[in-house]
Chains A and B, each alone.
Chain A
Amino acid sequence: MPRVPRAHSLLLAAAIFLALGAARAQTWEQAVNPAAVYSADGKPLSQRVVHYTIEAKYNEKAHTLDATETLVYRNLTGRPLDTFPFHMYLNGFQPQSTWVRELHRDAPDYAWEEKYRGAINIQQMTVEGMGDLTGQLQFIHPDDDNADDRSVVEVKLPKPVPPGASVTFHIKFYDVFPEVVARTGYMHDFVMGAQWFPKVGVWWRGGWNCHQFHLNTEFFGDFGVYDVQLTLPQNYVTGASGIEVGSRNHPDGTRTLTWHGEDIHDFAWTASPRFVVAEATFPGSAGPVKMRALVLRPHAAQTQRYLTALRQAMYYFDHWFGPYPYKQITLVDPDPDSRAGGMEYPTLFTADTTWWMPRGLLEPEVVTVHEYGHQYWYGMVATNEFEEAWLDEGINQYSETSIMDELYGPDRSLLDLWGATAGDTELFAHTFYARSPDTDPITRKAWQFMTGGAYGNVTYGKTASVLHTLDGMLGKETMRRALHTYFLRYRFTHPTGEDFLKTVEEVSGRKDLRPFFDQAVYGTQVLDYEVLSVSSSPVDWWKPGGGLGGVWRNQVLVHRKGDFLFPVTVEVRFDDGQVVRENWDGKDRWVRYTYDQKAKVVSAEVDPDHLIDLDRDLFNNSRTAKPDATAARKLHNYWLLFNQWMAQIVSWLI
């Protein structure tokens, strides 16, 4: 387990000092609410395009929510704007929606039930200075022809908002939460309020970016400030994005909590009477961060596992990539039946476990490290999850697997139980990738992947494998510097894939990476090199009594099986202990290495240092002169025992 160095306490003190100094220059918002972030110069960390003020009341019996929303939108686009699209994500949970259509396409056996229905209805929308525009609202379908999809609504203003000006929307809306199908809704007495309010799209690259809600897509939003008042039963323990700044009880048994978030691009909340709260502090390089864990009572025994994993994740992200500037991070342990686990929101994320989780299965740790990682790759570096999901999920998968491997060792960073082991990188990067090596380029828009499985395998697995392969090409330190630079340069903005790739090129100083990017990032070529054969025969085989001279002609044939061109190292071992390494540019279809010497070849291996995670098939990377059936016998043994046991069970019946 890594220890937090003492130097950090100095940084911590400096950050607190700077934060105190910055407090003098508070804006009006900060005078009302304490700052939710550490800012060295007192300035906002982001452009703060939006400011949402929401007052909501949750009905825990009906699982509904009544709310009013005030949105102040700053037009920083440089042009007048007269149309505004809003995400209405909860409408995705309706049988005719694009989200459910895509689910049915991928899983035809999926049975729709009314309890899965979610809805968000705008009851009134007025715009300051322009009146009631409720009648102007129109559902649009920018991605497909599904007229029944109601996940994006657009309003056209009677007059445009000039560049640099602000416009204020007042929206009264009503939510119906589904029993959780994905991420948001209720399960038992647990509720996850995510994607729950009308949320304006992002003006990005010269136009509105406000996609429909798809099965495989996540989210995209503008940075800003959130002030949210939420009224719930008093016995509910609540967590939310930002920091809690107020609480007052009402005679009717409800309580109103007030939350304030800055420089975040979404707001999520959760509540359950069964949450047990545990808190700790992480001494981050930007300032102390309150770690707040809301863990369901049946899982309380695992609270320390969660907090330890969170602390470790915070340590590595802070050291490798940069500071976490928010004052709080909230870890939510959701209802295990809720399908709300393993999801990220600004300054809050949901983890995942079960009450029986054995120590040797590191699922809570993996999920915690992964979801915390999204505070960086999504939370701060806010890439477009609809169009370039690899930039958050893929880079984050790479970060997670790197940290887990660093913490627990690459062979057992996911599983170390009863003699069975598995590494996080091996399983959640390489094996994912190997399941869909050529279906889609990783840059494909999330809803356009061949299937949901391909989306996951490519976006998470292949991207992580590409980045681990870059580890091998550039060195881990260089890759960490590249990600550190990328983070510092693009935090609180919406960078693109090219921004990332150019940063890698710039930091590594390598101008020859484009062929690799073209194949690995933009292409679907499959990287697969194999040792086709190894052989030894006497040089003088044709003489009567050939072979008596003791000189062997050793031949190693290496084959490029895939269409991905990549230089590889081939290691040849001989029975006298000699080891020879060859470097092949990998461009031709095959290469043959010949060695005439007294020793015989024992084995040959492509990529002997195991640096090319992108090689689809690791079994054919090597070949031995003599077969060794130990592993096959072992697996045969397992299969035999299983068959014997199964036969005994069946025979018991008669």
Chain B
Amino acid sequence: MARSGGYVGRGAALARRDWPGLAWLYLSNLVLAALASTALSAEFGSVLNTSLEAQRLARGFDAAVFLDLLLRPEVTPRLLAPASLFFAIAFALVTLFLTPGIVQGFLSGEHLRMGAFFQACGRWYGRFFWFAVLTLPVFGIVLGVLRLARDALLSWAEKSPEPRLYFYVGLGTLLVMWVAAVVLRLWFDLTQFALVHSGRFWRSIATGIRLLRQGCFRLLWIYCSISLLGWLGLAAGLWLWVKLPPERVGLAFLLGQAILIVWLGTRYWQRAAEALWFREHAPALLPAAAVPVPMEPAPGPLPASPATPQ
């Protein structure tokens, strides 16, 4: 069995090979967020573009000036929050649409051409959607129960005269909730892989659970290793951000986008590494897809027996 480092490294290579999937994700993320942000930008512009006071925001970030700005009647960030949420959900749906193509690419031995990529997206989107509908209550129940336990622990910690206890209990319980969410996420990822691989909806869910039981710690380790790199990238990006001259707005934009690409890429990389693990462990449990996904130019079938590492 390959070491986690092997999966992480090979996952990176796989993610790099299938970079167009990441590009689609990033572009849709950028475009949808830009749509969500336009109105506020216009509101800010109407106040700031011809005011000398705006220099205090351009040549630094004066929080007092920013609060003054938010007090103005023509600036209504609260009204824009629903738009942000709407576009966040839209991006989630776009992600859901693109995921089958990404998964198909990761599971196959070769890079998918665009036609095949979107063919896979269209073919599996319905089932991915319904599976996502099923997963949300699971997330809700598990995290809800953990949240109740967290609240109880925090309530206990609050009674202590030691203020740091509350902080550490809060942090520790958040960590537990995060790990639980990641385990669920791993199950859902494995199920999505199985769905694309076998095409069987309910059986894939059960397969996901069996695979998770088989490789939970290894998968968690892979996931966390890549997450750690993502967090380090984020920290480095933020460090650079603080060092940037405040008036270099264009540079800050590019850096911000780089941070978000790293963040998005981390998730992409995690899926690729998980897919590699899946390719090596799932075939024993699953028959190959009943209907091979056509590829272009020559259909690149799923490995007849993915047990054979490519």
Contact = CB atoms under 8 A, between A and B. Distances in A.
B249 A634 contact: yes
Nearest to A636: B41
Contacts of B185: 652
Interface string A629-654: 11111111101111111111111111
B33 A644 contact: yes
Interface in B48-93: 48-58, 60-69, 71-72, 84-85, 87-92
A388 to B, nearest CB: 27
A110 interface: no
Given A419-B246, A643-B37, A650-B89, A619 B61 contact: no
Contact of A420 (B32, B61, B96): B61
Contact-residue bracket for chain B: 35 or more
Nearest to B55: A631
Contact of B249 (A435, A618, A630): A630
Interface stretch (A238-246, A255-263, A425-433, A576-584): A425-433
A619 B51 contact: yes
B92 A354 contact: no
A540 interface: no
Contacts of A430: 64, 68
Nearest to A627: B49
A121 B67 CA distance: 46
B300 interface: no
B44 A188 contact: no
Contacts of B32: 643, 647
A216 to B, nearest CB: 22
A631 B57 contact: yes
A636 B73 CA distance: 18
Contacts of B52: 603, 605, 621-622, 624
A635 B58 CA distance: 9
Contact of A629 (B29, B45, B91): B45
A558 interface: no
B110 interface: no
B88 A643 contact: yes
Main secondary structure of the interface of B (DSSP, over half): helix
Given A337-B158, A619-B47, A636 B64 contact: no
A646 to B, nearest CB: 5
Contacts of B33: 640, 643-644, 647
Contacts of B96: 651, 654
A4 to B, nearest CB: 31
A523 interface: no
Interface in A365-418: 411, 414-415, 418
B91 A651 contact: yes
B216 interface: no
Interface stretch (B1-9, B114-122, B259-267, B290-298): B259-267
Nearest to B243: A419
A188 B159 contact: yes
Interface of B: 29-30, 32-34, 36-37, 40-41, 44-45, 47-58, 60-69, 71-72, 84-85, 87-92, 94-96, 132, 135-136, 139, 158-164, 167, 185, 241-242, 246-247, 249, 252-253, 256, 259-260, 263-264, 267
Shortest 10 CB-CB distances between A and B: which pairs? A188-B161, A636-B41, A426-B64, A647-B91, A643-B33, A622-B52, A631-B54, A627-B49, A654-B132, A632-B45
25 contacts: A189-B161, A190-B161, A274-B161, A298-B162, A298-B163, A356-B167, A411-B60, A421-B63, A422-B62, A423-B64, A617-B68, A620-B51, A629-B48, A632-B45, A632-B49, A634-B246, A636-B37, A641-B256, A644-B33, A644-B260, A646-B85, A647-B29, A647-B32, A647-B88, A651-B96
Interface of A: 188-190, 274, 298, 335-337, 354-356, 411, 414-415, 418-423, 426-427, 430-431, 434-435, 603, 605, 617-624, 627-637, 639-654
